[in-house]
Amino acid sequence: MTPPEGGYVPGRHKIDDYGGGGFRFADMSHKGSILALPSGVRAMALTQAAEIDAATIDCALSESGGLDFFIVGTGKDLLPLAARLRAQLRAAGVGSETMATGAAVRTYNMLVDEDRRVGALLIAV
């Protein structure tokens, strides 16, 4: 099964698997990158970490009820998030961490299990 049209699946979902250019969650599979938030999982038209911009971060920060922590999975390799984007998250009072997508998925799932208000932007590998 694939996500509904519009690329949004409401509800909080752990990531069941990743690789092959996509992710599995909520008994569905999705090719491409995603933004996972407590309110739902959204398809993102990003293919590399360099495409992350202020609007992408704003999308995460618009989460109702706010986020405590935001994880950025940068793909196969760890790449730094631009300083201006880290500052944008910090100014909103949201802690953040950048890591390779595999580590980001594992960390996101662990924080969801702890019932933390976590979001993750995950670049597909």
Contact 57, 85 (CB under 8 A): yes
The β-bridge partners of 29 are 24
The class that CATH gives domain 8-122 is: alpha beta
Confidence (pTM)? 0.93
- How far is C-alpha 65 from the chain's CA centre? 17
Distance CA 49, CA 60 (A): 15
Q: What is the mean pLDDT of the chain?
A: 93
Give 13-33 pLDDT, tens digit per residue.
999 999 999 999 999 999 999
Task: Give tens-digit pLDDT for 45-60.
Answer: 999 999 999 999 999 9
Per-residue pLDDT tens digits of the chain, which is 125 residues long: 444 446 899 999 999 999 999 999 999 999 999 999 999 999 999 999 999 999 999 999 998 889 999 999 999 999 999 999 999 999 999 999 999 999 999 999 999 999 999 999 999 99
